[in-house]
Amino acid sequence: MGKSNLDLVKECDRFPYYADDPAFYTAHMRNYHAFRVNGCDANLGYMLNSVVKKLELPEGSWAIDSTNQTVTLMTDRDATPEQRSQLMAETLAVAVKRDTFEILRGWRNEKYPVYAPGGKFLLEVERSATPLFGFVSYGVHATCYVNDDNGLRLWIPRRSKTKQTYPGMLDNSVAGGMSTDEHPGECLVREAMEEASLPEDVVRKNSTAAGCVTYFYVRSAQAGGETDLLQPEVEYIYDLKLSADVVPKPCDSEVEQFYLMTVDEVQAALANGEFKPNCSVVLIDFFLRHGILTPENEPNFLDIISRIHRRLEFPTASHFEG
């Protein structure tokens, strides 16, 4: 008996819901401090109490309120994003030096953005550190598929066995994180070349924006680093319909090989737990939009759809260019 689609969704969307059990939710929240920034009236993430305890904060720069369980970055109310980012970076530099957190050994040298309500850019922080604060992270996933006389087939890569996260697991055709200042469409084009050797014109001509998936991930051992760190995520979704003669190929060292798999093969690999968790969610979303999963053949249709479009309880960016 393999994993159901709801099992796969729950591996990814693991944070409890208030409405499911208000008393449990309220008790569970005692495990966290809300991360806040002086001058911004919103929780920006939840930090495990154990992280708050271990993180050494430069004196006077942070305020910890043990009663309300908040940690506040005490830059001036009218500080610039650079000033806030600088203070975050100083704090993390100390943690790296003292090797306080296993997760920081996977330092990426990439900056991830944090937004205030209304999508206002507040600060940026090293990518590998975002789960320490529980910040929302943003990425792009594209499903490359062929739909011809041979039926619907999907291009599925296997991750390199040397990747620091989820080594050797199956992945989505194109998937990557969005750095500060990057927009979803640009990120798609960049990652499609880096991970699948697909040229920009092919991507622009054949891609359709198809919404997003959102979920509240709680990191497992597979993810590397400390477990139970929080990682609420937004993945912008694209469908990339290719003719059978366009063959994605590994470009960098992150992908080992691409397979052109039938829907049955993908579903079997999903049930077998072969996919990186958030890739399962994106494939399930693809199947829901393309008439593969229907209310009549998926017993958890409604619960799945709402959980993979979870309303995150933190401000998010719009990435609006208008």
Residues engaged in binding a second copy (CB under 8 A): 17-19, 119, 183-185, 207-212, 214, 234, 236, 288-291, 293-303, 305-313, 316-322
| Minimum CB–partner distance for residue 294 and a second copy (Å) | 4
Nearer to a second copy, 265 or 313 (CB): 313
> 209 has which bridge partners?
238
> 241 has which bridge partners?
145
Nearer to a second copy, 3 or 163 (CB): 3
Task: Spell out the long-range contacts of 80-83 with Cβ–Cβ below 8 A and sequence spacing 24 or more.
Answer: 81/121, 81/122, 81/123, 81/124
| Mode of pairing for the β-strands spanning 70-73 and 32-37 | parallel
Could you tell me if 219 and 131 are in contact, meaning their C-beta atoms sit under 8 angstroms apart? yes
Nearer to a second copy, 93 or 209 (CB): 209
| Minimum CB–partner distance for residue 307 and a second copy (Å) | 7
| Minimum CB–partner distance for residue 293 and a second copy (Å) | 8
| Minimum CB–partner distance for residue 20 and a second copy (Å) | 8
What do you get for the CA distance between the two ends of the chain, in Å?
Answer: 49
Classify the phi-psi angles of 242: left when phi > 0, otherwise alpha if psi is within -120 to 50, otherwise beta.
beta
Chain centroid offset of residue 312 CA = 12
| Minimum CB–partner distance for residue 98 and a second copy (Å) | 35
| Minimum CB–partner distance for residue 62 and a second copy (Å) | 25
Nearer to a second copy, 17 or 259 (CB): 17
Could you tell me if 33 and 69 are in contact, meaning their C-beta atoms sit under 8 angstroms apart? yes
Could you tell me if 230 and 197 are in contact, meaning their C-beta atoms sit under 8 angstroms apart? no
Nearer to a second copy, 55 or 218 (CB): 218
| Minimum CB–partner distance for residue 300 and a second copy (Å) | 7
Kindly list the strands in the beta sheet with 45-48, ordered across the sheet, starting from the edge strand earlier in the chain: 45-48, 32-37, 70-73, 62-65
Nearer to a second copy, 87 or 187 (CB): 187
SS (H, E, C) 159-213: ECCCCCCCCCCECCCEEEECCCCCCHHHHHHHHHHHHHCCCHHHHHHHEEEEEEE
Nearer to a second copy, 159 or 307 (CB): 307
